[in-house]
Amino acid sequence: MEYRKLGHSNLEVSAITFGAWAAGGWMWGSTDRNEAIDAIKASYDVGVTSIDTAPIYGQGVSEEIVGEAVKGYSRDKVQILTKFGMRWDLAKGNLAMHSKNNEGQDIDVYKYAGKESIIYECEQSLKRLGTDYIDLYQIHWPDSTTPIDETFEAVSKLIEQGKVRFAGVCNYDAAQMAEAEKTLKLVSNQIPFSMVNRGVEEETVPYCIENSKSILAYSPLERGLLTGKITSDYKFQDGDHRAGHPHFQPDFIEKTNKLLDQIKPIAEQHSASLGQLVLKWTIERPGITIALAGARNAEQAVQNAKAIEIKISKEELKTIDDLVNAF
């Protein structure tokens, strides 16, 4: 595995980081707790020391699973990345979405990052994770109802108390990052990035490069689309959010699979899967520090981690870049 520092910090994370959204089951149709724990442990065994989770993933379930999975490890050997600012148990801030929890009950999710709320959320996360500190604490989505300085003053307080080591953001644009920086030094921004979703390269990626902020690319496999295993007649489980997503409509799937067919020979040359090649391409992109990759079971987790082993040439990277640019 390869390890990379986040921003100006001394926090080193694995270039392939375990993304634990699907582990929580919420919006993914279901979860198997034991398989999710096994997946995290199998990842760790092949060098994936960093896990990214959030309270909203399964309304606490994902964090509990992460806590259980890392219980036996020396705490300084794993990096726990979690988030705050999405409340399903408090109707405050901006309504983000109407949803259903893992039991099928209706819930309303709010983007809210008020000071007291953050302090409360951190305590809950620490309990679920079974730890006394969080390595990277990230606001999950911008909250337009709370001044940015109030939010990051709360995070500063948590850093002073030793409950949080470093602060990051998710889904922030360059202007929001600059505003947050007036209160607290950020180390990273977690943003969506994939071969078929590159909007962040226009403004946010250049800002992060210029200001030495790390980028944690989420959905680099575009929620499984870039593995080549999704066909235009694919049937999703009940509760799987992908069924209604624009990238999972037959035309887009077909277009994507044509792109994947063109890069497949490069994957085959390296005895790699398409998913592995896509992950490797992602962490070779300018400004991208790590790729977050989710896995439902141990086998998928190990395959994701092994993407790091692909020795891809400059010529091959250029070939893939040209194909992606033409997409």
Say if residues 80 and 122 touch (Cβ distance below 8 Å): no
Residues in the chain: 327
Interatomic CA distance for residues 58 and 263, integer angstroms: 35
Say if residues 34 and 317 touch (Cβ distance below 8 Å): no
Instruction: Tell me if residue 57 is catalytic.
Output: yes
* CA 222, 228, 232, 234 torsion-angle sign: negative
Instruction: Select which of 44, 57, 172, 207 is catalytic.
Output: 57
Helix/strand/coil percentages in the chain, nearest 5: 45, 20, 35
Residues 6 or more apart whose Cβ sits within 8 Å of residue 166: 6, 7, 9, 11, 135, 136, 137, 159, 187, 188
Catalytic residues, by residue number, are 57
